[in-house]
C-alpha cells in the first residue's frame, strides 16, 4: 500500500485534491467534525477540560471556536483530547483499506503530529494566497483570528514544501488538477 500525505496551507484545496485521486481518503477534519457530533466520550472529556465553553451535546463548532479564542492554552487542551481519537480512527481506516493500492491521508497536522511514515509520498498543494483568502472568506463561519491561531500550530509552509516529493499547483480548475494527479500516479505506481 502506498500512503500519500497531502500537505498545504489552510484553504489551499487539500481535501479537493485528495478526493480527485480516486482512492480511499482519510479526512481528519471530517472525522473531527463527526467526533463533535457523535462521540459523547469526547464531549465529556472536553466539558471536563473546558467547562466554561463546552455546554451541550452535540458540540457546536461555535463553542470550540470561542474556547480557542478566549485562551491560548485551550487549543492545546482540545488537541490533547481529540488527536488521540483521530489517530485511532486513522488506524481503523488503514486496517480497513489495507488491500488498497493507494490511500490518501488528508491530515492538516500530518508532519506536526509525527504521523508520517518514512516511505509516505508527500504532496504539497500550492495555491495563490489571495485566491485562498477569497475562498476562505466565503466559508460560512470563517474567523480570521481563529485562522491565525491554527496557522501558529502548523509548521512553516516552506518546510512542508521542501519535505514533499511532489507539488500540485492548485489553480482550482479540475482539468489542471487531474493532469497533475495523473502524472504523480504514473510516477509512483
3-state per-residue secondary structure call for 8-76? ECCCCCHHHHHHHCCCCEEEHHHHHHHHHHHCHHHHHHHHHHCCCCCCCCCCCHHHHHHHHHHCHHHHH
94 CB contacts (<8 Å, ≥6 apart)?
Answer: 26, 103
In this prediction, residue 95 carries a pLDDT of: 97
Buried b (16+ CB within 10 A) or exposed e, 5-27: bbbbbebbbbbebbebbebbbbb
Residue 188 sits in the same domain as residue 134: yes
Residue 78 sits in the same domain as residue 156: no
Residue 104 sits in the same domain as residue 14: yes
Domain boundary among 53, 80, 96: 96
pTM greater than 0.75:
yes
Residue 106 sits in the same domain as residue 185: yes
Residue 180 sits in the same domain as residue 107: yes
Report which listed range, 140-144, 168-172, 185-189, is most confident.
Answer: 185-189
Residue 20 sits in the same domain as residue 107: yes
In this prediction, residue 27 carries a pLDDT of: 97
36 CB contacts (<8 Å, ≥6 apart)?
Answer: 42, 43, 58, 59, 60, 61, 64
Per-residue pLDDT at 137 exceeds 90: no
Greater pLDDT, 59 or 141: 59
Residue 125 sits in the same domain as residue 39: no
Q: How confident is the model at residue 173 (pLDDT cuts 50, 70, 90)?
A: confident
Residue 107 sits in the same domain as residue 181: yes
Question: Which domain CATH number covers 107?
Answer: 3.40.50.300
Residue 15 sits in the same domain as residue 106: yes
Q: Got the DSSP string for 119-188? A: TPEEEEEE--HHHHHHHHHHSTT--HHHHHHHHHHSPPHHHHHHH-SEEEE--S-HHHHHHHHHHHHHHH
What's the grid cell of residue 181?
494527479
Give tens-digit pLDDT for 78-115.
Answer: 999 999 999 999 999 999 999 999 999 999 889 988 88
d(CA 66, CA 75): 10
Q: How confident is the model at residue 186 (pLDDT cuts 50, 70, 90)?
A: very high
Domain boundary among 43, 76, 96: 96
Residue 9 sits in the same domain as residue 51: no
> How many domains does one find in the chain?
2
Range of the structural domain that residue 84 is part of: 28-96
Amino acid at each position: 500500500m502506498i500512503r500519500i500525505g497531502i500537505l498545504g496551507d489552510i484553504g489551499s484545496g487539500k481535501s479537493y485534491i485528495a478526493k480527485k485521486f480516486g482512492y480511499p481518503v482519510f479526512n481528519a477534519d471530517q472525522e473531527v467534525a463527526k467526533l463533535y457530533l457523535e462521540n459523547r466520550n469526547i464531549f465529556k472529556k472536553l466539558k471536563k477540560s473546558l467547562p466554561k465553553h463546552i455546554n451541550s451535546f452535540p458540540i457546536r463548532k461555535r463553542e470550540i471556536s470561542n474556547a480557542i479564542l478566549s485562551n491560548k492554552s485551550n487549543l492545546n487542551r482540545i488537541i490533547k483530547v481529540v488527536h488521540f481519537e483521530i489517530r485511532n480512527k486513522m488506524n481503523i481506516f488503514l486496517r480497513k483499506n489495507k488491500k488498497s493500492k493507494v490511500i490518501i491521508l488528508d491530515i492538516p497536522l500530518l508532519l506536526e503530529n509525527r504521523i508520517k511514515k518514512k516511505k509516505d509520498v508527500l504532496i504539497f498543494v500550492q495555491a495563490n494566497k489571495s485566491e485562498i483568502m477569497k475562498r476562505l472568506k466565503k466559508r460560512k463561519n470563517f474567523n480570521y483570528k481563529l485562522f491565525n491561531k491554527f496557522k501558529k500550530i502548523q509548521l512553516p509552509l516552506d518546510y512542508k514544501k521542501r519535505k514533499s516529493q511532489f507539488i500540485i499547483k492548485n489553480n482550482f480548475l479540475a482539468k489542471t488538477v487531474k493532469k497533475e494527479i495523473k502524472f504523480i500516479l504514473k510516477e509512483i505506481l
